[in-house]
Amino acid sequence: MSSRREFVKRMLGGTAAAAVNGVVPSRRILGANDRVRFGLIGAGDRGKAIFRAALRSPNTEAVAVADVFTLRLEQARQIVPGIKTYRDFRRLLDDKTIDAVLIATPQHQHALNFVPSIQAGKDVYQEKTMAFNPHFARQMKRAFEGSGRVVQVGIQSTSGTAFLQVKALATPERMGVVTALHTHHYRNAPYGGWKRPIPPDCDPQHLNWKAFEGEAPPHAFDPNRYINWRFFWDYSGGDVFENMVHQVGFWFKALNLSIPLSATMNGANYLSPGMEVPDTMDVTLSLPEKILFSWNAGFGNNYYGQSGNDLLLGNKGTIIRIGDRVSYAPQTRHGGPSAAVETPAPAEGSNILGSSSETEAHMRNFFDCVRTRKTPNCPFEIGYRSAIACQMAVAAFRLGRTMHWNQEMEDIV
C-alpha cells in the first residue's frame, strides 16, 4: 500500500476515510464526574475479561460490542442484556455517543482496529502486544500523534503495587550501576494452556473469516486457525507477544528504557506439535542504557512460575520481583547478597486501591484519564517501545540472526 491515506481508505472505508480527510466525528466533552460510554471490539476470553473490569469501574456504561463471530456477541449479551452488537466494528465507531473503545482482538488485527478508532475520535484501551509488526506500529504512531486521544496499553502491571515498590527502590543510591536485568516466565502446560476446543457453530455462516484474516496471508476457512490463533505466526507473536511484553513494558516504564539496539532469540517447540510458535525460548535485548535484558520461558516446567521472577542487578544491590512481591538485597563487601532484605510499602496517595486486581486498577486508571485527559499508567509510548522490542525478538528467531533497530527508518533491520 502506497500511503497511509490509501491504506485506511481501502481497508476501513467510511469513518476512517473521513477522519483521514480531517473530518473527525464530534465527541462529548466529559467532566470529572461524567459517565463514560464505551464499546468493546473483540469479545473473546480476554475481551470479556476486560469488558467485565470496565463494567466494574465507577460511572461507566457499556454501549456496544463488535466481533466477527456470532457466538462472542451472544456471550456479550449474556453479560449485558440488550447491548448493541455488531459483526463489523466500523458500525460501533459510527456511534458518536461512545467515548472510548476497548480493543482485544487477535494481535494481527490491532492496528486495523486502533487506527480507525483513533480517527473516529475515540479514546482507546488497547490490549498488548500493541502492534504486530513495524509497519503497523508506524501506522498506529502516525494516527496517535497529535490526535489528543487517551491511549492505555494493556500492560496491567504498571498499575500494580509492585511497580510503585520498584520505583521506590530503583535509585542510584541503592542500585549503583545497573548492567543486567534477568526475567523469566514458565508454565508446566503443553501449548501454554492456550488450546481451545472448537465450538460447533464456528463455521462460515457464523464467522466472518475474511474480516478475521485482515491483512494476514489468505487461507481457506479453518476454525482451528481462528479459535487457536495464538499457535500461528500469521496472527501471533507467540509467548513473546503474550507474556514477555508484560515484563518488558513493566521495566521499560519503571527505568525509562529505550527501544533495544539489538535482539537475539533462540528456541524450539518441544511439547506442542500443533503450534508453529516455540514453547521454549531465550531472548536477549541489548539496550542503549548499557543494560542487558534477558528473558527465558517455557511450557515444560513451572519452577520460576508464570508470575515472573525478575532480577535487576546493580553493583550496589539487587531488586527481586516475583509477581506483586518486591524486595531489595544490598551487596556485601565480598560481592554476595546480604541477608538484609527490605520491601517498601506503596507510596501514599497511589491509585492502587486495596486488593483490587491489576486489570481492574488499570481499567479504572484508563477511565479516570478519559475524564481528566491525563496520561495513563501505560501510555502509547511504552506500548510502542515494548512492541518493537518484542517484534525484534520474534524477527531474530524467525530469521536466525541478530536484529537491529534503525531509528531513522523506524524499522527492524
* Cα 181 to Cα 255, 290, 374, distances in angstroms: 11, 11, 30
Among candidate residues 132, 384, 133, the one with its CA nearest the CA of residue 248: 384
Tell me how far apart the alpha carbons of residues 398 and 213 are, in angstroms, rounded to a whole number: 21
The CATH code belonging to domain 158-193+234-352+387-412 is 3.30.360.10
| Pairing mode, strands 100-103 and 178-186 | unpaired
- CA trace torsion 354, 358, 361, 365 (10° rounding): 140
Residues forming a β-bridge with 125: 102, 152
Question: Measured on CA atoms in the order 214, 99, 38, 162, is the torsion positive or negative?
Answer: positive
pLDDT at position 30 is: 79
Query: Within a 10 A sphere around the Cβ of 106, how many other Cβ atoms?
Result: 22
Domain with CATH 3.40.50.720 in the chain: 4-156+364-379
Query: Within a 10 A sphere around the Cβ of 402, how many other Cβ atoms?
Result: 14
Entry field: residues in the chain: 413
The amino acid occupying position 5 is R
Angle at 293 between CA 288 and CA 297, to 5 degrees: 150
- Per residue in 163-175, pLDDT (tens digit) is 999 999 999 999 9
Tell me how far apart the alpha carbons of residues 121 and 99 are, in angstroms, rounded to a whole number: 8
User: Is 300 in a helix, a strand, or coil?
Assistant: strand
The amino acid occupying position 66 is A
Would you say 152 and 376 are in contact if contact means Cβ atoms under 8 Å apart? yes
- Per residue in 225-269, pLDDT (tens digit) is 999 999 999 999 999 999 999 999 999 999 999 999 999 999 999
pLDDT at position 320 is: 96
pLDDT at position 336 is: 55
Q: Which CATH class is domain 4-156+364-379?
A: alpha beta
Per-residue pLDDT of the chain (413 residues; tens, 9 = 90+): 444 344 334 444 444 444 444 444 445 777 767 999 999 999 999 999 999 999 999 999 999 999 999 999 999 999 999 999 999 999 999 999 999 999 999 999 999 999 999 999 999 999 999 999 999 999 999 999 999 999 999 999 999 999 999 999 999 999 999 999 999 999 999 999 999 999 999 999 999 999 999 999 999 999 999 999 999 999 999 999 999 999 999 999 999 999 999 999 999 999 999 999 999 999 999 999 999 999 999 999 999 888 768 999 999 999 999 988 999 999 975 555 555 455 554 443 333 223 358 999 999 999 999 999 999 999 999 999 999 999 999 999 999 999 999 999 999 99
pLDDT at position 343 is: 59
The amino acid occupying position 28 is R
Among candidate residues 367, 147, 379, the one with its CA nearest the CA of residue 249: 379
Backbone angles phi, psi at 90, to 5 degrees: -65, -30
pLDDT at position 116 is: 98
* DSSP secondary structure, 311-337, as one string: EEEESSEEEEEETTEEEEEEB-TTSSB
Among candidate residues 27, 214, 9, 6, the one with its CA nearest the CA of residue 120: 27
Domain with CATH 3.30.360.10 in the chain: 158-193+234-352+387-412
The amino acid occupying position 225 is R
The amino acid occupying position 60 is T
Q: Cα(first)–Cα(last) distance of the chain, in Å?
A: 20
Tell me how far apart the alpha carbons of residues 136 and 412 are, in angstroms, rounded to a whole number: 13
pLDDT at position 29 is: 75
pLDDT at position 31 is: 75
Evaluate if pTM is beyond 0.75: yes
Would you say 220 and 81 are in contact if contact means Cβ atoms under 8 Å apart? no
Q: Hey, what's the cell of 307?
A: 508470575
pLDDT at position 5 is: 43
Count of CA atoms in the C-beta half-sphere (13 A) of 323: 7
User: Is 302 in a helix, a strand, or coil?
Assistant: coil
Among candidate residues 264, 290, 289, the one with its CA nearest the CA of residue 400: 264
Strand ranges in 117-268 using DSSP code E only, listed in sequence order: 123-126, 151-153, 178-186, 262-268
Backbone angles phi, psi at 153, to 5 degrees: -95, 140
* Cα 201 to Cα 44, 69, 223, 225, distances in angstroms: 15, 9, 10, 15
Would you say 24 and 228 are in contact if contact means Cβ atoms under 8 Å apart? no
- Indicate the helix (H) or strand (E) that contains 138: helix 134-144
Q: Where are the alpha helices (DSSP H) in 29-123?
A: 45-56, 70-79, 89-93, 110-119
Backbone angles phi, psi at 284, to 5 degrees: -130, 130
